[in-house]
């Protein structure tokens, strides 16, 4: 079970975080959550699709790394074989926790940085230090705090973005059928993509509103990213050839 605690310089002065990328540290995931402002960075490497949470019914954008559970085709020699790592992966083992604080006699909610002390990356011997020897945050910890802020705001924006897609009926379910060189097949269900026919039928006013919010670019980036399914197939075929 994760053990999320508030990061502080007293308890965590000597804590370090291993930044290698491998299944040992939980990177063997076949997709991760993402958000519209990240699509531009993702679309060069990963297919971006949408998925519906079976419990809540809410849609989320995802970046795809493989064709089955626990498969990440970008893991190679303890490194991530792409120039950009999705932020919801890169932020591990950190998260944001909400705390109630007193400010001028009033209770206010404040976001604070947490770390999962049971994460295999967390140790006292090797990796990036959280704090400097003589006090103060390390550059690595500041970078993680900034990253969590980007993710927080990105996820809030993603909810607005997806609500727009639903309102305009731009999401459609599809089945991804993949056949590899050795004849093995994968059928991926439960994913959604942009309905390009509906997109092309939108009024000028609707397109202008999407553009004003920065969502039109995100839509086209998601569509363009689907070409990376072929990239995933090439990675999988190369793995099978080995």
pLDDT for 77-126, tens place per residue?
889 999 999 999 999 999 998 877 767 777 777 889 999 999 999 999 99
Structure tokens at 139: 């550059």
pLDDT of residue 176: 87
Three-state secondary-structure class, residue 203: coil
Instruction: Give me the residues paired with residue 16 across strands.
Output: 123, 129
Q: Which has the closest alpha carbon to 19: 70, 74, 77, 79?
A: 79
152's CB contacts (< 8 A; 6+ apart) are 96, 111
164 and 213 Cβ atoms separated by less than 8 Å: yes
Ranges of residues in the chain with a pLDDT under 50 are none
Q: Which pLDDT does position 1 carry in this prediction? A: 72
The whole domain housing 209 covers 4-241
Q: What is the pLDDT of residue 242?
A: 80
- Separation of alpha carbons 89 and 105, rounded Å: 38
Residue 77 is encoded by which pair of tokens?
């020699």
Average pLDDT along the chain: 93
CA-to-CA separations, 202 to 6, 36, 62, 170, 216, in angstroms, rounded: 47, 20, 24, 10, 12
Domain count, the chain: 1
The span from the first CA to the last CA of the chain, in angstroms, equals 35
Residue whose entry in the numeric block shows the structure tokens 């996820």: 155
């Amino acid at each position: 079970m994760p053990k999320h605690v508030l990061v502080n310089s007293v308890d965590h002065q000597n804590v370090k975080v291993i930044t290698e990328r491998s299944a040992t540290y939980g990177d063997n995931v076949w997709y991760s959550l993402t958000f519209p402002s990240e699509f531009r960075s993702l679309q060069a490497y990963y297919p971006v699709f949408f998925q519906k949470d079976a419990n809540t019914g809410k849609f989320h954008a995802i970046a795809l790394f493989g064709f089955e559970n626990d498969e990440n085709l970008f893991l190679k020699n303890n490194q991530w074989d792409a120039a950009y790592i999705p932020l919801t992966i890169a932020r591990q083992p950190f998260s944001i926790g909400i705390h109630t604080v007193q400010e001028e006699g009033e209770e206010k909610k404040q976001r604070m940085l947490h770390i999962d002390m049971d994460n295999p990356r967390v140790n006292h011997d090797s990796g990036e230090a959280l704090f400097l020897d003589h006090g103060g945050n390390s550059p690595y910890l500041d970078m993680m705090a900034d990253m969590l802020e980007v993710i927080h705001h990105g996820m809030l924006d993603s909810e607005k973005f997806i609500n727009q897609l639903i309102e305009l009926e731009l999401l459609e379910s599809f089945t991804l059928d993949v056949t590899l060189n050795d004849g093995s097949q994968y059928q991926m269900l439960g994913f959604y993509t942009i309905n390009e026919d509906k997109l092309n039928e939108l009024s000028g006013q609707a397109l202008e509103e999407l553009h004003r919010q920065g969502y039109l670019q995100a839509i086209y980036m998601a569509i363009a990213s689907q070409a990376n399914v072929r990239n995933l197939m090439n990675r999988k075929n190369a793995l099978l050839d080995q």
